[in-house]
Chain A
Amino acid sequence: DVKVTQSSRYLVKRTGEKVFLECVQDMDHENMFWYRQDPGLGLRLIYFSYDVKMKEKGDIPEGYSVSREKKERFSLILESASTNQTSMYLCASSSSGGASDYGYTFGSGTRLTVV
Chain B
Amino acid sequence: LAKTTQPISMDSYEGQEVNITCSHNNIATNDYITWYQQFPSQGPRFIIQGYKTKVTNEVASLFIPADRKSSTLSLPRVSLSDTAVYYCLVGEEDTGRRALTFGSGTRLQVQP
Whether, in the assembled complex, A31 has its beta carbon less than 8 Å from a beta carbon of chain B, the answer is yes
B102–A104 contact, CB under 8 A? no
Residue numbers in A under 8 Å from B96 (CB-CB): 30-31, 94-97, 101, 104
Is A103 touching B97 in the complex (CB atoms < 8 A)?
no
- The CB with the most chain B CB atoms within 10 A, among A31, A43, A91, is that of A43
Question: Secondary structure at chain B's binding surface: helix, strand, loop or mixed?
Answer: loop
Contact yes or no, B42 A104, CB < 8 A: no
- The reply to whether B99 and A48 contact each other, CB–CB distance below 8 Å, is yes
Question: Is A33's beta carbon under 8 Å from chain B?
Answer: yes
**Across-interface contacts of B34 in A (CB, < 8 A):** 102-103
Say yes or no: A50 contacts B93, CB within 8 Å. no
Q: Which of B72-112 contact A (CB under 8 A)?
A: 87, 93, 95-97, 99-105
B41 within 8 A of A: yes
We find that the number of chain A residues with CB closer than 8 angstroms to chain B is 33
Residue in B93, B99, B104, B105 with the greatest tally of chain A CB atoms within 10 Å: B99
Residue in B36, B42, B95, B99 whose beta carbon sits within 8 Å of that of A33 in the complex? B99
A24 at the interface (CB under 8 A from B): no
CB distance from B42 to the nearest CB of A (A): 6
Residues in A with CB closer than 8 Å to B54 are none
A residues with CB within 8 A of B? 4, 30-31, 33, 35, 40-45, 48, 50, 56, 58-59, 90-92, 94-97, 101-109, 111
- Residue numbers of B with Cβ under 8 A of A are 34, 36, 41-46, 49, 87, 93, 95-97, 99-105
